Structure 1
C-alpha cells in the first residue's frame, strides 16, 4: 500500500479518493473548501491538510482533480503549492481535464524539481467515479505509468498510456468531441421519431442493439424523453472542455464544424437556465411531443 495525497474533492475527486482509502492506501486529502475535506475524513480513514504543500509532504503519489488550468496552477505552483513539497522520485498524477499545454509545462517543472508528472484525465462521469469504473487516458513516460498503474486500479475499469506528456489530455479532447456529436444525434433521432408518430422509446430500444448503439444512446434516451437533466456531466463543464478543444484545434489545424455547432447549441441551453443540466439536455432545444 502507498502513501497518497489527493488534491481536489469535487464530484469526481471525492469518491476517487475514497476508493483509494478503501483499497488500503494511506490517504491525505486537500480541498479548497476545508469543510468538504473534514467530511471526507469522517467518511473514510485518512487525514486532511490545510494546503497542497502540506498534503504531499510524505506522499509517493499525488493525485489531483480540479476544475481547469488556472485551478491546476493554483494548487501546484507557489510556496503553498504541491510542487514546493513533492518528495524526490514521487509522481504527480493530474486527473483534471485541462490543456495539453499546461500538462507539458508542469511536466517540465516537475522534472526540474526531481519528480515525475502524468496527465491522466478521466471519462465516466460522477457515476463512474462513485462506482470505481472510470476510463483513464494517460500521457507520460512508460516506466512512470507502470508504477502508477496498480494505484489507478482503485477507481478505474480501464487505463492506458496514450503517448508522451499531453497525450492523455489530447485523448480526452477526442472523447468530448465524440460525446457532443453523439448526444446531438440522439436528440435529433428522438425528435424525429416522435414527429413521425413512432414510439420513441421502442425505437431506441431496437436501434441500440444495432449499428447505432452507443453508451450515450443506451444510458440517456429514457431520461431525455422524460426531460430529466438534474444529474451527470454539466453543460457548463462541457463548454469548458470544448474551449480547450478549440484552442488545441487552432494549434493543430483540425477542422471541427459539428463540434462548433454543438457548442452553440449548448450556449442556447445555458440561456434556457441549463448550465448545470446534464449534457444530454441538448434535446431541450427541440420540441418533444408527449
Structure 2
C-alpha cells in the first residue's frame, strides 16, 4: 500500500515514522522542511512530497493538522489532494476537529469516490512515537476493514462507530480535562489566599477527592510556575471551543465547560497562548 501523510508535526510525525519503520512507502508533506527531514530519517521508504498533488498515487492519505480550516484547505481546495486522489482511495483524518467539519469532508470525499475515516488521537506525542496512541476510529466501514492491519502499526485501535463518535471522544476528553485544569487553578488560588503554598496544598489534596490527572501531571508545573508548552494553551482553547460548539449544535448547554472556555480565552488574549495550557492559572 502506498501511503500519503500530510502534517508531520508533534503528533503526525511520530505516526508517519512508525509507518516508515514498518517498511511502508510513505509520501510525506509538511510546510516545515525540517519536520519532513526528521520523518524521512526514520527509514528508507519515506518519500518527500512537494505538494498536495503529489498524493495522487497514494491509496491512503493521512492528515494530521492543527486546525479544522487547515484540513479543509488541504482536502477541499481546487489544488488539494481530494482532486488528485483516484476513486477507491481512503482519507484517514487524525486531527482534532468538530463533527460538522468531518461530515463536510466525508461528503466531499464521497463526491470524489474517496472513502472517509475519522481516526482521532487520544494521548501525547510520546505515546505516538511508541505506537501506543489510542485511536478513536469511525466512518466508512469498508475502508476501516481494509485498514485493520495498518492501524496497529501507529497506535491502539478503538472502533467507536460513526464519525460523530470518533470526533466526540477526543473533544469530550479535552473538555473534561481542560475544565478540570481550570478548577485546579482556581483551587490553588484559593489556597494562596488561605496562606498555603501550592506545593503543600497539592500534597495535602493528593489523598482527597480533589485528586485528578491534571493535578498529578500539571500540579507540579503550576507549583513551580513552569509553563513550558507541552500542550499549548491556544490548542486547548481551540479544542474547548470546538467541544462547546459541538454540544450546542446538539442542543446541550455545557455551562461549566463554557465558563472554562472563557478563562482560556482570557489567558490567550493576555498573551499566554504559546505557553502550556496550565497558564490558564494566570487568568484566574
Range class of TM-score, shorter chain? 0.7 to 0.9
Q: Which runs of 4+ in 1 moved over 6 A?
A: none
Alignment partner, residue 128 of structure 1: 127
Alignment size in residue pairs: 283
Alignment partner, residue 50 of structure 1: 50
Query: What secondary structure, in the 3-state scheme, does the structure 2 residue paired with 1:81 have?
Result: coil
Distance 1:207 1:256 in 2: 26
Alignment partner, residue 172 of structure 2: 174
Alignment partner, residue 22 of structure 1: 21
Distance 2:200 2:259 in 1: 29
**1:36 positional shift:** 3.3
- TM-score computed with the length of structure 1 as normaliser: 0.86
RMSD: 2.5
Aligned pairs for 1:87-98 (under 5 A) are 87-98=86-97
Indicate conservation of the 8 Å contact 1:127/1:232, yes or no: no
Distance 1:260 1:142 in 2: 34
Query: What secondary structure, in the 3-state scheme, does the structure 1 residue paired with 2:91 have?
Result: strand
Aligned pairs for 1:236-255 (under 5 A) are 236-255=234-253
Distance 1:204 1:168 in 2: 34
Distance 2:27 2:275 in 1: 32
**1:118 positional shift:** 0.9
**1:199 positional shift:** 6.3
Alignment partner, residue 219 of structure 1: 217
Distance 2:42 2:132 in 1: 20
**1:102 positional shift:** 1.9
Alignment partner, residue 181 of structure 2: 183
**1:189 positional shift:** 3.2
Query: What secondary structure, in the 3-state scheme, does the structure 2 residue paired with 1:121 have?
Result: strand
Is the aligned partner of 1:155 residue 2:137?
no
Indicate conservation of the 8 Å contact 1:34/1:50, yes or no: no
Alignment partner, residue 100 of structure 1: 99
Distance 2:184 2:153 in 1: 32
**1:148 positional shift:** 2.5
- TM-score computed with the length of structure 2 as normaliser: 0.88
The alpha-carbon distance between structure 1 residues 41 and 260, as it changes in their structure 2 partners (threshold 3 A), is same
Distance 2:225 2:270 in 1: 13
Please identify, of 104-113 and 200-209, the stretch whose mean Cα deviation from structure 2 is larger.
Answer: 200-209
**1:49 positional shift:** 0.8
Alignment partner, residue 85 of structure 1: 84
Structure 2 segments unaligned to the other structure (5+ residues): none
